Structure 1
Amino acid sequence: MRHTELFYLLALQKAEGIGDVSIKKLLAHCGSAEAVFQAKWPQLAKIDGIGTFRLRNIHQKSNLIQAEGELSFIEKHGIRAYGFLDDDYPFRLKHCPDGPVILFSSGNIGLADRKIISIVGTRQATPHGIEACRQIIADLTPVNPIIVSGFAYGIDIAAHLAALDNGLQTIGVLAHGLDQIYPKQHQKYARQMEANGGFFTEFWSNTAPNRENFLRRNRIVAGVSEATIVIESAEKGGSLVTANIANDYNRDVFAVPGRVTDHFSRGCHNLIKSQKAMLLTGAADLVYQLNWDLQQQPKPVQTQLFLALDPDEQPVYDFLKANGRQQLDHLALGCGLPVSKTSSILLGLELKNAVRPLPGKSFEVI
């Protein structure tokens, strides 16, 4: 974004009574933030919802002073700013009516032509939830998605660390400015995050991590991604807020089940029961439901002649080859494996172009 355009966009954000929706109306009418400041009042007054009071506030000198200060901070710290009208603004977030007008980032983030998955959950994660999170991300590694979460305790930080362990890009969405890290205990992960991903925030520097900011940042977590996965949640919590926002954005939502007696699985079970989320037992469920066509990846013509299968994959492949097309449940039973384990193995076989998925959650050898 041009230096001048960013300056005027920041100034608009500081105008009293002018929120993201109003700024988007002004941008749509004038074409740029700079043009808003150059436009005559009668022209702007024609815009629905923009009254004289708001117009008067736009030109307050204090707005320009504050914008200049924030711009200096951005330039000094090498922060990247995505304006709502910029081509590189995250395209999924651009389609969210309440998406932020400016998104700030630090690190080494590359979103172009990438699959993006958000993973959220309770701050009081159990060993079961953390292991499920790690396994799902490990099994998704061949697809090379970007993993987004909120950098909080529990499932959030487990998702970020699992992504880093598997060489995946990961993005933490913050509820404060980029001049600080919260919680402080996670400061030790910041440099590693920025080396292979980084941070997003809509908040200016010196913004404290207040409770309402966490609720606002949830819409970015939900909006920037293709789908949201909930791993462990009580009956109420921020993860369910994120899931509801994702539903409002018409995004796919998945929930990992637990035992019926598990306190931190009740939220997931309620999402599934109310059909606000699809049941997720493994990475293969996600790949199948999102219709990721792994067969389109370039592969050698005679790959099957030289398949390098690991000890878990070989019996599943041999069973399919001997018995032909099989439904997932029948295949798992025939191989004496849990369905979740079979799903994970099948994903690996798909990526090796050894098997193909068919309608009805069936599979066959290629």
Structure 2
Amino acid sequence: MFPDIPPDRPLRTVEASAVLGATPYLLGYHPCNAIIAIAFTCETRVAGVACVDLPGPDADLGAMATHIKQSLENGSDADHVVLIGYGTEAAVTPLMDMMRFLLDHESRLDLIEALRFCDNTYWSYVCSDTCCPPEGISFDPTCSLAAAEATMFGLTALPDEAAYAAQFASLAGAAREQMQAATRQVHAQARELMSRDHDWRAELLDRIASSSRAVDLGQELDNVQVAWLETLTSSALLRELAATVAEPGEDQVHLRMWSEVLRRVDPADAVAPALLTASYALRSGDGPVAQIALRRALEADPGNLTALHMQQIANTGVTPAQIRSYQLAPTTLAALAERFPQDTRPLLPQEPR
């Protein structure tokens, strides 16, 4: 997944210290046991970031390397690439060697650096011993100039991927019980509205408009607002509409809104908000959040075809502009909702919970 990274992001050079210092802030967390590929334009501006876990002993290294190469080549305006392997030499080098071979012989991208980082020490695969000694070069990415610049730009890097994913963990204890009570209340109201000729599309648009305004102002949604957003988007047609209604420049606000809904709904109700979180994450170029959200969707519904399809898309190196081009226009979805109003009705449990 390649983000639309603006030109004022902090990574401006491809020196090892700059790359290693900035990479955690591009991902949102400090990576471990992974290979990170950073694509650059000819002006050394970041064009995209890809991350894959280190392979197991039985992995097909050729297939993995080919997939990463294709993802990099699909990144917008990418001309050059830097590879960083986080882990031991035995774990990193086999895939790194395969990646270097493909990039050197079968790619339009110019590999300008390949690094391994472990225990605050890095080694280069492309320089001689005269510039990179056998014992490696000590480096603390948390104290680097790139890290300081990233912080100035408002970027943060959590300790690891687990801490990053924990931001989207479900509620527990009393907060969860209160959310469940609000959901029962909303379901009861929705059942009552189903006995009338209710305009569910208008209801959704009104709820999204008020909730996104609140999120944009830094306000937390109340439990009833969250429950209504989840309930309305249980309709697949309204969920598709919700994924497209953000105006230009509003994708980040809608990403924060649906992330909050995902975090607060019952895990059994997580599919719709997880898919919407993933959709806006992909539109914002935030691959790590998209993957976390899609995992949440598949935990709730392991065979969900939409989530599986979105995973395939997220793993192909598509750009946010490409994601937006795949989606139906809001006017088209509105016409479908008007033509098939029965498909806009929420899907409620058989009995109140």
TM-score after normalising by structure 1:
0.28
Structure of higher CA gyration radius: 1
TM-score after normalising by structure 2:
0.29
Identify the structure with bigger relative contact order (alpha carbons < 8 Å, sequence gap 6+): 2
